[in-house]
Amino acid sequence: MKVFIAGATGLLGKRVVKRLVEQGHKVVGLARSGENMQLLRSMGAEARVGGLFNRQQMIEVTEGCEAILHLATKIPAKLTASPAAWAENNRIRTEGADILTDAAIYHKAKLYLQQSILFIYGDQQGKVLDNHTPLPARQPSFLRSAIEMENIVNRKTGDWGLPGLILRFAAFYGPDSGQTQEMIRAVRRGKLPIVGKGDYYHNLIHLDDAASAVVFAVNRHEKLTGQTHNLSDFNPAPFAEVVEYLAAITRSKKPGRIPHWLARLLLGREVVGILTNSCQNRANTLDGWAPAYPSYREGYGQIVSLMEEP
C-alpha cells in the first residue's frame, strides 16, 4: 500500500516508516526541511515538501496515496508550558486533521489513521476502561483540541464515508525520547518527587509498540475503519511503583514525596491533574496485536540498560 505520513520524522513516525518500508509498503513522508528530506530518503521513503496547514499543498502531497496517517504533534518540552506554547499542537490536531481528512476523502483513500491520546479519559478514580467509559465533559485546556480532532474524524467518517480510525495512545516512552531521558535523569538525581501517595494508575506504551500498533492497523485497515482503540501495554501500574522501580534499576535513592497542594503550587492545577489522573487500560481491543514490552518493567529495563551501555 502507498502510505502518506504527516509526522514521519518524529519519534513515532520514524519507527512507523522503518517498519512499513521493511514490510514492502511504499511510504511518503511529509518533510519540512532539507535535513528531514535526507532522513526520509535514507530510510527508503519518498519525501514530499508541504505545509500541513495549506489545504492545496496537502491535496498535492497526498496524491496517489491509499492511506493517510496523521502522526504529527508538537508537544511542548516543559510540563509547565503556557497555553501559548500549546497553540501549534492544537492547530496540528484540529486544522491539521480537518485538512488531512479532506485530502483522504478527495483521494478516496482506504484509511485515514489519527493519532490521539488516552489522557482524554481524565480521572476515572482508578477504574478499568471499557468500550462504554464516557469521556469527561470538562477537559484541561491542552486536551480540548484532541476532542475536537476526534470529533472531526468521527463526523467525516459518519457523514462523508471517511475510512477513519482513531488510535488513542497511553504515555509514550522510549530510549530516544527526551521526556523519558529527562525522567530517568531526574530519578537519578533524586529530583522526581511522587505527588501524594502515588497510587494513581499510569498507562504507558513503549514507542516501538506504538509503532507496531500503527503498522498492524495499516495492514488490517479493512476491518478497523470506523473504530477507535485505546492502546497501552495493558499493565498499568501505580505511579509510585513505576518510579520506585526506576530508582531501583538505576541504583538511585528512594524517590521523595510532595503533597498535592505543593505540587499544584509548583506546576499548576491542570498539570497536576494530568499527572495524578487515574484510570486503567487493561483490555486489548486491537485483536491480534500485542506489545513487545508488556509492562513498564521490560520497557524501562531495556531503556536503562541501553543508557548504561559503555
Ligand X SMILES: NC(=O)c1ccc[n+]([C@@H]2O[C@H](COP(=O)([O-])OP(=O)(O)OC[C@H]3O[C@@H](n4cnc5c(N)ncnc54)[C@H](OP(=O)(O)O)[C@@H]3O)[C@@H](O)[C@H]2O)c1
Binding site residues, ligand X, CB under 6 A: 6-13, 30, 32, 36, 52, 72-75, 88, 92, 117, 169, 171-172, 177-179
d(CA 95, CA 152): 10
Give the residue with the Cβ less far from ligand X, 177 or 250: 177
Amino acid at 24: G
Tracing cell 498499568 back to the chain, one arrives at 236
d(CA 301, CA 245): 9
Give the residue with the Cβ less far from ligand X, 99 or 240: 99
Give the residue with the Cβ less far from ligand X, 13 or 255: 13
**Min CB(57)–ligand X separation in Å:** 11
**Min CB(52)–ligand X separation in Å:** 4
**C-beta nearest to ligand X: residue:** 10
Amino acid at 132: H
**Min CB(116)–ligand X separation in Å:** 9
| Rounded-to-5 percentages of helix, strand, coil across the chain | 45, 15, 35
Give the residue with the Cβ less far from ligand X, 40 or 109: 40
d(CA 230, CA 215): 15
**Min CB(272)–ligand X separation in Å:** 17
Give the residue with the Cβ less far from ligand X, 77 or 137: 77
**Min CB(262)–ligand X separation in Å:** 25
Is residue 267 within 8 Å of 80, Cβ to Cβ?
yes
Is residue 303 within 8 Å of 184, Cβ to Cβ?
yes
